[in-house]
Amino acid sequence: MSKMSELSLVLDDMITCGENMIKAANALKEIFSSTTEETTAAPAVKTDKPAEPAAEPPAKTYEFTDVRKAFSAKSHEGYTEQVKALITKYGASKLSDIKKEDYPALMSDLEVIGCHSTHD
């Protein structure tokens, strides 16, 4: 692999990691800004009703084609072994064997591959 190709892969990894850090920072900011607003609001009126749990935002849904595309891209970036290990982590021998309800967690795990160092 040429130095320019290697540099390009490293820069792509850095960009991906940066984008993921921005997403995480925005999520934390949203969580803490809503907590701050709640604590500065007027005291709650006591009622006999139990408090309703806060509604969770719906988890992002993925189709198999989305997952396959993301896994293919990560494998082409040079992380084939980590991709295979991730599939095995979810109890499957191939990507199509993974349950659809596991796709959000699977995609979250896939995003961090390559963010720790160049080609773990």
**What pLDDT, on a 0 to 100 scale, did the predictor assign at position 120?**
45
- 74, 21, 30, 36: CA torsion to nearest 10: 150
Residues whose CB falls within 8 Å of the CB of residue 12, separated by 6 or more in sequence, listed in order: 77
| Structure tokens belonging to residue 61 | 């849904």
- What digits encode the pLDDT tens for the residues 15-73? 877 777 787 777 777 787 765 555 555 555 555 666 666 666 666 788 999 999 999 99
| Cα(8)–Cα(14) distance, integer angstroms | 10
| Confidence band of 93 (pLDDT split at 50, 70, 90) | very high
Question: In Å, what is the CA distance from 102 to each residue of 6, 64, 65, 72, 108?
Answer: 33, 11, 14, 18, 10
- What digits encode the pLDDT tens for the residues 68-90? 999 999 999 999 999 999 999 99
Prediction pTM value: 0.50
Burial of 91 (0-12, 13-18, 19+ CB in 10 A): exposed
| Structure tokens belonging to residue 116 | 């720790």
